[in-house]
A and B are shown apart, each in its own frame.
Chain A
Amino acid sequence: ETGVTQTPRHLVMGMTNKKSLKCEQHLGHNAMYWYKQSAKKPLELMFVYNFKEQTENNSVPSRFSPECPNSSHLFLHLHTLQPEDSALYLCASSLTSGEGEQYFGPGTRLTVT
Protein backbone atom coordinates (compact mmCIF):
# COMPACT_ATOMS: atom_id res chain seq x y z
CA GLU A 1 0.00 0.00 0.00
CA THR A 2 1.20 3.49 -0.75
CA GLY A 3 0.07 6.96 0.19
CA VAL A 4 -3.02 7.39 2.32
CA THR A 5 -5.65 4.67 2.48
CA GLN A 6 -9.14 4.82 3.93
CA THR A 7 -11.63 2.10 4.79
CA PRO A 8 -14.42 1.56 4.19
CA ARG A 9 -14.90 3.47 0.94
CA HIS A 10 -18.66 3.52 1.39
CA LEU A 11 -20.74 3.28 4.56
CA VAL A 12 -24.48 3.40 5.16
CA MET A 13 -25.56 3.60 8.77
CA GLY A 14 -28.69 4.29 10.74
CA MET A 15 -28.88 7.08 13.27
CA THR A 16 -28.57 4.68 16.18
CA ASN A 17 -25.58 2.76 14.84
CA LYS A 18 -21.97 2.99 15.91
CA LYS A 19 -19.30 2.69 13.26
CA SER A 20 -15.68 3.68 12.72
CA LEU A 21 -13.73 5.06 9.80
CA LYS A 22 -10.10 4.09 9.44
CA CYS A 23 -7.22 5.95 7.85
CA GLU A 24 -3.65 4.77 7.40
CA GLN A 25 -0.74 6.66 5.92
CA HIS A 26 2.39 5.01 4.54
CA LEU A 27 4.38 8.20 4.03
CA GLY A 28 6.23 8.49 7.34
CA HIS A 29 4.28 11.62 8.22
CA ASN A 30 3.58 12.84 11.72
CA ALA A 31 0.43 14.88 11.23
CA MET A 32 -2.99 13.55 10.28
CA TYR A 33 -6.28 15.30 9.57
CA TRP A 34 -9.99 14.59 9.20
CA TYR A 35 -12.05 16.68 6.79
CA LYS A 36 -15.73 16.67 5.91
CA GLN A 37 -16.64 17.37 2.28
CA SER A 38 -20.26 18.27 1.58
CA ALA A 39 -21.65 19.25 -1.78
CA LYS A 40 -21.12 22.91 -2.71
CA LYS A 41 -19.35 23.72 0.55
CA PRO A 42 -15.67 24.21 1.31
CA LEU A 43 -13.84 21.33 2.88
CA GLU A 44 -14.32 21.53 6.61
CA LEU A 45 -11.36 20.71 8.78
CA MET A 46 -12.55 18.61 11.69
CA PHE A 47 -9.52 17.40 13.61
CA VAL A 48 -5.74 17.66 13.50
CA TYR A 49 -3.26 15.33 15.15
CA ASN A 50 0.45 16.11 15.34
CA PHE A 51 2.72 13.39 16.73
CA LYS A 52 -0.40 11.59 18.05
CA GLU A 53 -1.58 14.64 19.98
CA GLN A 54 -4.80 16.38 19.01
CA THR A 55 -3.99 19.99 18.18
CA GLU A 56 -7.24 21.14 16.56
CA ASN A 57 -10.89 20.40 17.12
CA ASN A 58 -12.95 22.77 15.02
CA SER A 59 -16.11 22.72 17.14
CA VAL A 60 -17.02 19.26 15.94
CA PRO A 61 -20.07 17.67 17.63
CA SER A 62 -19.25 14.99 20.17
CA ARG A 63 -20.98 12.33 18.06
CA PHE A 64 -17.68 12.35 16.12
CA SER A 65 -14.82 10.99 18.19
CA PRO A 66 -11.29 10.78 16.76
CA GLU A 67 -8.55 8.44 17.84
CA CYS A 68 -4.89 8.45 16.85
CA PRO A 69 -3.05 5.48 18.36
CA ASN A 70 0.15 6.20 16.43
CA SER A 71 1.40 8.52 13.70
CA SER A 72 0.33 6.14 10.94
CA HIS A 73 -3.27 5.47 11.96
CA LEU A 74 -6.26 7.67 12.51
CA PHE A 75 -9.81 6.65 13.33
CA LEU A 76 -13.10 8.49 13.39
CA HIS A 77 -15.67 6.86 15.63
CA LEU A 78 -19.27 7.66 14.79
CA HIS A 79 -22.37 7.32 16.95
CA THR A 80 -25.93 8.65 16.87
CA LEU A 81 -25.31 10.57 13.68
CA GLN A 82 -27.81 12.79 11.92
CA PRO A 83 -28.79 12.74 8.24
CA GLU A 84 -26.94 16.04 7.74
CA ASP A 85 -23.73 14.22 8.64
CA SER A 86 -23.93 12.41 5.30
CA ALA A 87 -20.85 13.49 3.35
CA LEU A 88 -17.46 12.42 2.05
CA TYR A 89 -14.98 12.13 4.90
CA LEU A 90 -11.41 12.68 3.84
CA CYS A 91 -8.27 11.83 5.73
CA ALA A 92 -5.00 13.61 5.02
CA SER A 93 -1.45 13.58 6.32
CA SER A 94 1.55 15.89 6.19
CA LEU A 95 5.13 15.81 7.38
CA THR A 96 4.16 17.70 10.49
CA SER A 97 1.34 20.04 11.28
CA GLY A 98 2.15 23.31 9.62
CA GLU A 99 4.84 21.90 7.37
CA GLY A 100 4.34 20.98 3.77
CA GLU A 101 1.42 19.98 1.69
CA GLN A 102 -1.25 17.55 2.73
CA TYR A 103 -1.71 14.19 1.07
CA PHE A 104 -5.26 12.94 0.89
CA GLY A 105 -6.88 9.55 0.95
CA PRO A 106 -9.74 8.61 -1.37
CA GLY A 107 -12.37 9.27 1.27
CA THR A 108 -15.27 7.40 2.84
CA ARG A 109 -18.70 8.19 1.43
CA LEU A 110 -21.00 8.15 4.45
CA THR A 111 -24.77 8.02 4.21
CA VAL A 112 -26.83 8.34 7.38
CA THR A 113 -30.39 7.04 7.05
Chain B
Amino acid sequence: AQSVTQLDSQVPVFEEAPVELRCNYSSSVSVYLFWYVQYPNQGLQLLLKYLSGSTLVKGINGFEAEFNKSQTSFHLRKPSVHISDTAEYFCAVSEAEDGNQFYFGTGTSLTVIP
Protein backbone atom coordinates (compact mmCIF):
# COMPACT_ATOMS: atom_id res chain seq x y z
CA ALA B 1 0.00 0.00 0.00
CA GLN B 2 1.06 3.54 -0.67
CA SER B 3 1.18 6.45 1.70
CA VAL B 4 1.01 9.96 0.34
CA THR B 5 2.50 12.84 2.30
CA GLN B 6 1.62 16.46 1.80
CA LEU B 7 3.96 18.12 4.23
CA ASP B 8 2.30 21.53 4.25
CA SER B 9 -1.23 21.56 5.58
CA GLN B 10 -1.61 25.31 4.99
CA VAL B 11 0.18 27.56 2.55
CA PRO B 12 -0.49 31.30 2.54
CA VAL B 13 0.92 33.19 -0.43
CA PHE B 14 0.51 36.69 -1.80
CA GLU B 15 -1.27 37.25 -5.07
CA GLU B 16 1.00 37.02 -8.14
CA ALA B 17 3.72 35.25 -6.13
CA PRO B 18 4.90 31.75 -7.09
CA VAL B 19 3.83 28.72 -5.10
CA GLU B 20 4.95 25.12 -4.70
CA LEU B 21 2.84 22.47 -2.98
CA ARG B 22 4.80 19.39 -2.03
CA CYS B 23 3.80 15.77 -2.42
CA ASN B 24 5.80 12.65 -1.65
CA TYR B 25 4.70 9.05 -1.91
CA SER B 26 6.11 5.97 -0.31
CA SER B 27 6.64 3.26 -2.89
CA SER B 28 8.94 3.11 -5.87
CA VAL B 29 6.73 0.75 -7.87
CA SER B 30 5.29 2.02 -11.11
CA VAL B 31 2.70 4.66 -10.24
CA TYR B 32 0.26 7.10 -11.72
CA LEU B 33 0.16 10.52 -10.08
CA PHE B 34 -2.57 13.12 -9.85
CA TRP B 35 -3.29 16.52 -8.38
CA TYR B 36 -6.86 17.49 -7.59
CA VAL B 37 -8.31 20.80 -6.41
CA GLN B 38 -11.37 21.17 -4.21
CA TYR B 39 -13.19 24.48 -3.96
CA PRO B 40 -15.55 25.08 -1.02
CA ASN B 41 -18.67 22.94 -1.10
CA GLN B 42 -17.58 21.18 -4.25
CA GLY B 43 -16.11 17.83 -5.23
CA LEU B 44 -12.57 17.26 -6.41
CA GLN B 45 -11.54 18.48 -9.85
CA LEU B 46 -8.54 17.07 -11.70
CA LEU B 47 -5.74 19.60 -12.18
CA LEU B 48 -3.20 17.37 -13.89
CA LYS B 49 -1.93 13.83 -14.10
CA TYR B 50 1.23 11.88 -14.80
CA LEU B 51 0.83 8.48 -16.43
CA SER B 52 4.08 8.13 -18.40
CA GLY B 53 6.40 10.08 -20.65
CA SER B 54 7.67 13.57 -19.89
CA THR B 55 8.22 14.14 -16.20
CA LEU B 56 6.99 17.73 -16.43
CA VAL B 57 3.23 17.78 -16.65
CA LYS B 58 1.12 20.83 -17.42
CA GLY B 59 -2.43 21.12 -16.19
CA ILE B 60 -5.32 23.52 -16.08
CA ASN B 61 -5.29 27.02 -14.61
CA GLY B 62 -1.53 27.45 -15.22
CA PHE B 63 -0.44 24.69 -12.84
CA GLU B 64 2.35 22.23 -13.55
CA ALA B 65 3.99 19.39 -11.67
CA GLU B 66 7.23 17.47 -11.97
CA PHE B 67 7.55 13.76 -11.38
CA ASN B 68 10.81 12.82 -9.68
CA LYS B 69 11.12 9.07 -9.47
CA SER B 70 14.32 8.98 -7.43
CA GLN B 71 12.82 11.25 -4.79
CA THR B 72 9.32 9.76 -5.10
CA SER B 73 7.90 13.26 -5.37
CA PHE B 74 5.32 15.04 -7.47
CA HIS B 75 5.36 18.70 -6.44
CA LEU B 76 2.80 21.13 -7.83
CA ARG B 77 3.84 24.61 -8.94
CA LYS B 78 2.38 27.78 -10.31
CA PRO B 79 4.54 30.80 -11.21
CA SER B 80 1.92 33.43 -10.32
CA VAL B 81 -1.16 32.71 -8.22
CA HIS B 82 -4.54 34.43 -8.32
CA ILE B 83 -7.16 34.94 -5.65
CA SER B 84 -9.28 32.32 -7.39
CA ASP B 85 -6.62 29.68 -6.68
CA THR B 86 -7.60 29.68 -3.01
CA ALA B 87 -8.73 26.10 -2.43
CA GLU B 88 -7.73 22.72 -1.02
CA TYR B 89 -5.25 20.72 -3.11
CA PHE B 90 -4.91 16.94 -2.96
CA CYS B 91 -2.17 14.75 -4.29
CA ALA B 92 -3.16 11.20 -5.25
CA VAL B 93 -1.28 8.09 -6.28
CA SER B 94 -2.44 4.88 -7.86
CA GLU B 95 -0.27 1.89 -8.55
CA ALA B 96 -0.06 0.79 -12.16
CA GLU B 97 -0.60 -2.82 -11.09
CA ASP B 98 -3.61 -2.09 -8.88
CA GLY B 99 -5.63 0.78 -10.23
CA ASN B 100 -8.52 0.00 -7.91
CA GLN B 101 -6.78 1.86 -5.14
CA PHE B 102 -6.31 5.59 -5.19
CA TYR B 103 -4.27 6.89 -2.25
CA PHE B 104 -4.81 10.50 -1.31
CA GLY B 105 -2.79 12.88 0.82
CA THR B 106 -4.36 14.90 3.62
CA GLY B 107 -4.52 17.99 1.46
CA THR B 108 -2.90 21.42 1.41
CA SER B 109 -5.02 24.48 1.97
CA LEU B 110 -3.76 27.25 -0.30
CA THR B 111 -4.80 30.77 0.67
CA VAL B 112 -3.95 33.57 -1.72
CA ILE B 113 -3.65 36.91 0.02
CA PRO B 114 -4.56 40.07 -1.92
B104 within 8 A of A: yes
A105 nearest in chain B by CB position: B43
> Chain A nearest CB: distance from B76 CB in Å?
15
Query: Size band of the A side of the interface?
Result: 20 to 34
Contact A98 B44 (CB under 8 A): no
Partner of A98, one of B36, B43, B98, B107: B98
Chain A positions within 8 Å of B31 at CB level: none
User: Please, how many angstroms separate the alpha-carbon atoms of A90 and B12 in the complex?
Assistant: 27
> Chain B nearest CB: distance from A72 CB in Å?
17
Q: Give residues in B with beta carbon < 8 Å to A.
A: 4, 9, 34, 36, 41-46, 49, 90, 94, 98-107
Q: Give residues in A with beta carbon < 8 Å to B.
A: 4, 6, 33, 40-43, 45, 48, 50, 55-56, 90, 92, 97-99, 101-107
